Amino acid sequence: MSTRTPTSPDASTRTHLGSGALARRGIAAAVLGLLLTAVTRLVAVALDSSLADVQQFAWGPVVGVTLVAALGATLVYAVFDRFTDRPDRWFLVAAAAVFLVMLAPLTLGAESLDLTTNAQVGLVGLHLAAAVGIAAGILGSDRVARDRTVSR
């Protein structure tokens, strides 16, 4: 009786995302990130109307920061896709690290921001919504094998 030991796929045959598939993932990340942050912002302001006057809850910063984050996440995923065998795993590690770093000013330096507790909680919610939406867009969309091209 013989046993078979699973082996990892040959690194030379691993496929990488094409530029079109990567662009679709980036667009999905931006759309999902914007959708979730917009809903989170609307709920936060509905629960505490004073948040509408807080600069960080204005639509400009919410939209701008989310779009920049989605673009950055797309570029980071492209690097991981190109240089690692497991880009999804490394992207999740990087996304979790960035999320934690982005929370540091809200927790460690909360006094210097001069924000109410409700504003701090709302900003954590906005960060979480953006992180989840962007990660879902990058990792969850366009995962059909036909959109992947063989690396050369």
The predicted model gives 29-54 an average pLDDT of: 96
* pLDDT tens digits, 43-57: 999 999 999 999 999
* Residue 37 structure tokens: 């942050």
Is 136's pLDDT higher than 70?
Answer: yes
pTM recorded for the entire structure: 0.81
Percent share of the chain, pLDDT over 70: 82
Half-sphere exposure for 65 (CA within 13 Å, toward CB): 18
Give me the number of domains the chain comprises. Answer: 1
pLDDT for 148 equals: 47
Tell me if 32 is assigned to some domain.
yes
Rounded Cα gap, residues 67 and 34, in angstroms: 8
Residue 40 has pLDDT above 60, yes or no: yes
Higher-confidence residue of 152 and 117: namely: 117
The answer to whether residue 59 sits within a structural domain is yes
Which residue would you say has higher pLDDT here, 150 or 93?
93
In a domain, 28, yes or no: yes
Would you say residue 44 lies in a domain? yes
Kindly state whether residue 109 falls inside one of the protein's structural domains.
Answer: yes
State residue 19's pLDDT score. 87
Residue numbers of the domain that contains 54: 17-142
In a domain, 10, yes or no: no
- Residues 56-89: tens digit of each pLDDT: 999 999 999 999 999 999 999 999 999 999 999 9
State percent of the chain over pLDDT 90: 64
pLDDT at res. 142: 46
Question: Per the domain annotation, does 150 fall within a domain?
Answer: no
Residue 80, CA distances (Å) to 7, 83, 88, 89, 115 in order: 22, 5, 8, 9, 37
